Structure 1
Amino acid sequence: MKSQFIKLYCGLIVSIVLALVLMQALLLNLFGDAQDELFQQQMASYRTLVLETTDQAERRMLRMQTLAEDMGAELLPAEEDELYEEERRQVLEQGLLVLNSDEALCYFVLPGDAQIYRLQYREDNPLLDQLYFFENMTILAIFGALGLVLAFWLYRFGRRLTALDQTARAFAEGDLSVRASMASHAEVGSLNETFNVMAQRIEKLLSSQKQLSNAVAHELRSPIFRLQCQLDMLAESQDETKRQGYIKGIEEDLQELSDLLEELLQYARMESADLRIERKPQDMVNWLFELIEHVQLESHKPIRFSHAAPLHKCRFDAHLFQRALQNLLRNALRYAETQVNVTLSIMDEGLQIHVDDDGPGIPADKREDIFQPFLRLDASRTRDEGGHGLGLSIAQQIVQLHQGRLTVSDSPLGGARFTVAIA
């Protein structure tokens, strides 16, 4: 922290000094001529006053010396080489020439005297010494106060950073529950809040991955165990009919594993931060009609499609959105008793697609949980019905990628209603 203080303090001092130098140069450039003109008028007034109040050359010179002493200046004869020829001519013609008002340096002559005199502040002027002293002390006081304020601010800021650093180290060492303090005396801008949001997301992600790993292991265990049993029985059996049954069972288990791996890959793709969607305008009515016809081939339960709106184009990623709607339709067909209804409607905020079934429905207190991967609510929704519990989770992720919402409620048919709302 000391090195940071030195860097900041030196940087501030250099910045202030540069600002003062630039300001002085700017003021000199803007008002330097006016300042010289004002000083020249002042000196001309002194000269005129002396000339009008004193008629003798010696008394005039004495009077000028008195005025110079009152100003804290000195009056000296100018050397021959002090002035250029043009400057000397101006002094002799005008009687006065100001060269540097900052040092109160001017040249003048008195009538009847060819000698040019120089008027300037004395180097041992006590008034100037006092002025410079107070000026230097003021600068030191300002820099000292600035250093104290900066040191106090850095001390408090350093304590906040240290606390945040300790929190980050604890989180890195495995304590995923630790959070940065949100108290006003401990905040480092919005960094504390940002850290907490990041920590919460990481904790949730790691927890989700752990649950997913456990669920995947559980899902793989059953078909692998069945495969092993059927392979053993296939090797021991001599009955051709039984052997064919075992082979068919093996094929079904392999297909189940293949479907599971496909859903896992799709789920992992949805979880990827690099996933980008390509939204293109689509005729939603025709697109939905073709999708329903395709899914209808998989089940004898009828899917009825209705829409109260004219043809409407909507921008979405057709490939991903097809996967989401397929999952919803297959889920509805899986649990429907006799029918599935699909309704397309236009709302003020965009499109809504309702997928209704007349199955057992979903309890209100379980409707948020069904979008978690590998979750099955009860005996009415088991793996005997097919699926691995990833379809709804994938559908929700796809809808969210389109800045939409996927919700579940009671269906007019008596089962569950899944509603997709997109702009």
Structure 2
Amino acid sequence: MLKLLLSLYLAVFTSIVVINQVSEAIWSHWVHSAPDELRHAKAVANTLKSTISSDQLPQESETLKILNMDDVAWLPEQASTLVQGGILTSFDDEGRAWLTFKVPDSTLLLQLGPLAPAASAANKQWIIKLLSYAVLAFLLMLWIRPLWLDLLQLRYITENLTQGQLPKATRHSRFSAISNLTEQIHDLASQVARLIENQKLLVNAVSHDLRTPLARLKFALAMLPEQSREQASDMADDVVEMEAMIDEMLAYARLEFEVEKLEITPIDLCELVNDQISKLNKLTDKKITFKKMSNTVIISGNLHYLSRALQNIVQNADKYGRSTIAINIECDKNNAYIHIEDDGDGIPKSQWESVFIPFSRLDESRSKDNGGYGLGLAIVRKIATWHRGSCHVGFSELGGAKFILTLPLAN
């Protein structure tokens, strides 16, 4: 960052110095030295005033007139300027200039004119300003270009990384202030891509290689003689539990790779919740209430994964609730909010975020003895994030936990 700030400071400082020097040179050679009839006439008037006297007056002509000071009604300021020996500049109705000065030791006045006034330099000033801004923009562009090229490289790296691909080697500009950062991010992205690839291989290995010996073990336990069945019952339960845990782990691991293949369709959220309630009613005797602001709430998402997220939350409420589960859908202009509450023991506020961490377990009431592996709610948050939503936990008015699943409405 220090290198970036120093290079920017030097670029701006150098640009301002160059622009000031160039602007002054242009102004002095193009504007200030440009022909100006009025300025030239003032120089002539000063020379003439210093060389004439009341005894040696020049002849009157079209551009030179001799006046008596008392013949003109001068303003006090004008009269004071003439008396003090200054050159008075006045303009007629046509905008022409007249130069008037007093002959030394006399009441006579000499008047030069009419003269064209000095041309306005406003246009030239604007041209110089625009040229200055153009030079500044060009010099800053020279500084920004290497930085911009490196930022494009960072974009290329992240795009490849999000697709799980190893980014190819990139060329870094040695003039860029963030070239070292670009190189470090490329190395980091390469390492992350390798880790993702290793994770894919691990998931495939677990899916095939670990399931096979478990299946053989289940078959061997099933073939034990009758007298050994009771002893093998606990072993069979452990095998079933291991299979369930493997399924849950694989489901969570696959989420990292399935996001690229999501099929997004319009979904009626009320209908989706009703389907989950119907399935849960077949498995529980708890009372389930469902309130909604509208009969139709349309969102955009993947039906399979949103069903999985809702299923995990309602099963969690069924598992830890005592007798009642309350589901409520609310909406605002942009989002739909699904509130799922139970009347269980609830979750302490200090552990609200912990429940979404994979493999986390809170206490004995929410341990694996109740059938959980600490992945259900982690899957819910992952799916909600996919759909540009969120999932949070809070206190329920029923006394237990309250989960709020937020999903954006369809445009």
TM-score, reference length from structure 2 = 0.46
